[in-house]
Structure 1
Amino acid sequence: MSSKIYFGNNNRFSFKRGALSVASRLHHKIAPKHALKTARRLFLTPAKGRETNPVPEGMVIKAVPTKQGSMMTYKLGSGPTWVLTHGWSGSSNQFFPLMEHIAEAGFTALAYDHPGHGKSEGKEGSIPAFLNALDGILNQQAKIEGVVAHSMGGATLLESEHPSLHGKPIILVAPVLKYWDNLFGTIEASGYSMKLFKEVIASVGQEYNVRIEDIDPFVKLGKRQSPVVIVHDKGDRFAPFGVSKEATMYDHVTLVETEGLGHGRVLKSDPLKEAFSRVAGPLI
């Protein structure tokens, strides 16, 4: 979601929220087609993330074709492959420190930029677009060892039914498990026209021929048969920690709690590296 829209952290009246509410509803009433086009650009255009991590020595960078267009991939190490999938307005660059850890442990780390993110093709992003990219990357792997997914990348991963994922361990980092609750709550807090936002959702569903309302990462998590480890910071302001805590109701889910790392810094943290080492285990 673009950072252009105003998001509040509480329900108190805000002039910006009030003005946005009036403006978006009036726009929708006067010029519905243009309003929908504007709303799609607002909600489906990711913000460009900062690439602050240096490229590790030996990294192989390559664009690969997928159903969603050309996706830029980043490969480091040798041995069994772990796939890494980032979240909204992120990029593979966020994974570089973890990829070095994975490679040093004797594995191959394979990350990629989602549509409209990093150096991949596309201008818009959505879970269906993310899913096309993920499945396209998985299609090109003979076999994978497991997956590390951050934020919305985790929600996408849980929606995938790709056969290479069956029985494979998953590490979810700061996942958005109750996707719709989180998303609708954010839009309502912004003051933006909910009717117009729902039209955006409907247009995406029509474009990809999917039932958007069937997306439910929390339920899909419960149906997974393989072990899942969640690494989540208690103070995360973007993905509710309490939902990850609730997910431990499933016997195959383990939660690693962190403090002071937020939504992004946790990706280069020792607790995440330690969680990977425990899940991956020693190579025989």
Structure 2
Amino acid sequence: MKFSYFTSKQGSLLTRISRGATAGLCTVAPWVTARLGQVLLMSPHGKRDYQFSNKKPNNEINILTSLGRVHANVFGLGSKTVILSHGWADNSSCFDHLIPELVASGYCVVALDHVGHGRSCGKQAHLLAFIEALDTLIEKLESERHDISALIGHSMGAVAMMNLPDYRLAQRTVINIATPVQFFELMFERVTRAGISDKMLHQVLHRITAQHGTHWHLIRDRFHQACQQFAPLFIHDTDDRFAPFEHLQPLVNHAPERLIQTSGLGHRRILGDTGVIKDITARLTT
């Protein structure tokens, strides 16, 4: 069985039966369902092989994380560096249209493939793996004297950015594109609609976060705290089906200058929109 957070549909009778069955299994064999659930719910099933059509990388780097090797593409030779962080079941090529514009504006651009995505190792991933990969990449680049001026994240890649330590975010421009503000709530909604008991997701999240010495509630709270503390720019489409626009509004109602609002682009096409790209480069260069 292959599960996708992007295609799960409203439940039928069979879906409700399946939800009840998985709930029972979680009660009878919680350790088994936690392991099985991690395979089912934490497998991205995204495209692993890709090519950049608009600009080829100048270099490629690899870093080691607790879940294996992580790959990143490096573009340009600018004195300031921008890091790009993609979302779930995607890869660094999602920024194919943005990268040439950033390089033309004088930046070195580092586009990361998260664990279990693109050319990085692994078949499974989760938010903590995203956070670790970003943190490790920044540490490596700083050790090589990169002047990291901006962090740009799309979808889950933006949620991961906002969970970095304070010293990774301070004094840097942070741009969040199509961010699922209610990240965990949306996960539970999609899983339930797909006919899987939310008990299984609870067990999986507890197992993963306990291994990293934290709890998923703390990760959720950290996201909102960092959004208030570091005032990132949000770029969001009103027709985003996977990261509802109304979830973002409480974060920007008091600071409309922190929002660039689009319409009709949805969750993924927003990355290739020429107006959005111009807004990003303008924000970085002013």
Equivalents in 1 of 2:263, 2:117: separation in Å?
A: 28
Is 1:120 aligned to residue 132 of structure 2?
no
Q: Summarize deviations over 1:174-233 as a string: whole Å, max 9, x none.
A: 001122222222223333112222111110112111122111223321122xx5221111
Alignment partner, residue 236 of structure 1? 240
Indicate how the Cα distance of structure 1 residues 110 and 162 shifts in structure 2: closer, same or farther if over 3 A, else same.
farther
- Please tell me the residue identity of whatever aligns with 2:164: S
1:82-101 deviation line (CA, Å, top 9, x unaligned): 00001111110111221111
Residues 24 and 55 of structure 1, relative CA distance in 2, 3 Å threshold: farther
Which of 17, 20, 24 is equivalent to 1:19? 17
1:83 maps to amino acid: I
Match of 1:98 in 2: 98
8 Å CA contact 2:44–2:116 kept in 1: the answer is yes
Rounded to whole Å, the distance in 1 between the matches of 2:5 and 2:236 is: 27
Shift of 1:24: 1.4
Instruction: Say which of 214, 221, 225 aligns to 1:219.
Output: 225
TM-score of the superposed pair, with normalisation by structure 1: 0.89
Question: Match of 1:76?
Answer: 75
Once the 2 structures are TM-superposed, how far is the Cα of residue 131 of structure 1 from its aligned partner? 0.9
Q: Is the 8 A contact 2:188 2:201 kept in 1?
A: no
Quick one: higher RCO (CA 8 Å, sep 6+), 1 or 2?
2
Q: CA deviation at 1:277?
A: 1.7
Deviation at 1:271, TM superposition (A): 2.5
1:278 partner letter: A
Aligned to 2:32: 34
The answer as to whether partners of 1:87 and 1:150 remain within 8 angstroms in 2 is: yes
Q: Which residue of 1 aligns with 2:61?
A: 62
Q: Which residue of 2 aligns with 1:45?
A: 43
> Partner of 2:89: helix, strand, or coil?
coil
Q: Could you tell me whether the CA contact under 8 Å between 1:247 and 1:253 is conserved in 2?
A: no
User: Are the structure 2 counterparts of residues 4 and 244 from structure 1 closer, same or farther at C-alpha, using a change threshold of 3 Å?
Assistant: closer
| CA root-mean-square deviation | 2.3
Q: Tell which deviates more after alignment, 141-150 or 51-60.
A: 51-60
Q: Distance in 1 between matches of 2:95 and 2:7?
A: 28
Looking at structure 1, the residues matched to 18 and 5 of structure 2 have their Cα atoms a distance apart, in angstroms, of 11
For structure 1, list consecutive stretches of 5 or more residues without a partner in the other structure: none
Q: What 5-or-longer segments of structure 2 have no aligned partner? A: none
Deviations 1:121-169 (A, max 9, x none): 1222111111111100000122301011000111111111152421211
- Equivalence map 1:69-218=2 (5 Å): 69-79=68-78, 80-142=80-142, 143-161=147-165, 163-216=167-220, 217-218=223-224
Change (3 A) 1:218 1:164: closer
The residue identity in structure 1 corresponding to 2:160 is T
* Higher mean C-alpha deviation, range 250-259 or range 34-43: 250-259
Shift of 1:240: 1.0
